[in-house]
Structure 1
């Protein structure tokens, strides 16, 4: 839907842009105030950095990767650079791995070759058709991502260009020559911006960078992995209308731009966040046609969903199969 010359989908995306700018400004402010802050203020500042980074990855940058905000490619490129500084990694690289890999294979289970096609699948490190253990997926995955970001910093020797050794990104980039070149250049620009902002942080306060930013960034990566884990835990990877988990609490979806509509997002990844409730209504018959999981809590708190059906084992083998139906009902926010 066209809404003017600036916004590609909706002028409400200006809120997401405002959040992006506010996060960058507040992060700089926290770095500047580190030296004069009390211990309590420092701890609170570190928690704020972790929360902002987590929110940006889960909500802001996630939505941007699926539906860039502007009609102008240049403005979208600037947003990618801005949020690459906010989330400590290339937004364009995130777009390639998330949109072109995760949403193609949708948290698939292992095939006969013993692996998954979805690189972020919760089954990838699991055994006997089960999800990987949460600590391995969340903490282990965060540590690997943290190390990967460190390696990207060292790509300064090639000015942060995507090298031939980066087989995943090379395979996911567009096959069209012009578009491929644009995507890889954007990753390079994102990485350069990320490194330059790290230099800026170090210049302001290297103590803040090491004692606050780095631990907060690692914590945010862990929380993001917990979120992704419970967005898919127990869902049926073989059923397109039941391969992820939704949460319909009104307050959560208000402050996260309908992030809880994850099954609907799987069904229509290109749908704008404001259209996800409509996606649910259009697909209601399909969604209600088989057991699926509707969580009573947001995905980040999925470990509290104790009686969750395990549909990935097959309804007949699910310990709570008799209760699967009631989880299809909409869960009202407290």
Structure 2
């Protein structure tokens, strides 16, 4: 690929709070709003009619998708804050809002960049745990229905922890802490009914919330599927698929520039610009677009 085909401009800032750009206040605020929205669902549930809660629950599912693929993805590649502690605390809020571990998501996503939705090898394995070819047959991609609705149950927490342990830092501790944080949050919500007077065993809220939590992650897998469907895992220039629609990129904090980032970063996962959106000029020939 021509070295001049892509020129990346990375914003810099003298902010004492933000590490890359003051614009990161927007995805950071979006992540915190998502957490506040979750608590809002919890407190509103005993007071609002079911039809209202069903609409709000569906919106929560959409927000899980936007958070994981927008805020969370940007945060992996370019942690928003200069302070390591603030980044850890924000990771906890992300974990509680989406009901997963942001640090473990980091490990899964870095594994994704190592394989870039690669095809199965001779042992029917893929480097990328999220590869759309991982559970396919005869070298073809998996059916989107099974990928979207079964991937939620396929995460191998043991393999993720093993990968975090290799980093020889405190990521494994924080990954486990984030799991405990969101599990504790759900447990409290399942036990305490925030009514007047307060009473206990909030089983109705649990039955309401769990399907929307699952649906939100299904939406995220649907997003990931079509970020790679139609791409060519054998050609680095076409590892992903991009979407340039303004509304999509505004809602997902420019996650649509997916193939462009991979083409610019090539095999170096940590150099991908996500929080600091790359400005690609002169085009990238051969990138699959949607």
Q: Quick check: 1:139–1:222 contact (8 Å CA) kept in 2?
A: yes
In 1: Cα distance, 2:58 partner to 2:278 partner? 32
Distance apart, 1:4 and its partner CA = 2.2
Q: Deviations over 1:60-114 (max 9, x none)?
A: 1111111111111100000011110011111001001112x00111111112222
Give the structure 1 partner of residue 148 of structure 2.
138
Give the aligned partner of residue 281 of structure 2. Answer: 281
170, 175, 178: which one aligns with 1:190: 178
| The one of 128, 135, 138 aligned to 1:128 | 138
Matches within 5 A, 1:222-261: 222-261=218-257
Task: Please give the per-residue CA displacement for 1:166-199, whole angstroms capped at 9, x wherever unaligned.
Answer: 2342134444x4x2xx111111221121112112
Question: Would you say how many aligned residue pairs link Structure 1 and Structure 2?
Answer: 266
Root mean square deviation of aligned Cα: 1.9
| Aligned with 1:47 (options 58, 71, 78) | 58
User: Is contact 2:75–2:275 with CA below 8 Å preserved after alignment?
Assistant: no
Structure 2 residue 28 is matched with structure 1 residue 17: yes
Does the 8 A contact of 1:125 with 1:132 survive in 2? Answer: yes
Deviation of 1:134 after TM superposition, in Å, equals 0.8
Alignment TM-score, normalising by the size of structure 2: 0.85
TM-score by length of 1: 0.74
Aligned partners of 1:61 and 1:83 also within 8 Å: yes
* C-alpha distance 274-82 of structure 1, shift in aligned 2 (>3 A): closer
Q: Any unmatched runs of 5+ in structure 2?
A: 1-11, 194-201
- Higher relative contact order, structure no. (Cα contacts within 8 Å, ≥ 6 residues apart): 2
Specify whether residues 274 and 92 from structure 1 end up closer, same or farther in structure 2 by C-alpha distance, changes over 3 A only: closer
Matched, 1:70 2:81: yes
Structure 2 counterpart SS, 1:95: helix
Match of 2:161 in 1: 169
| Structure 1 portions without partners, runs of 5+ | 153-165, 296-334
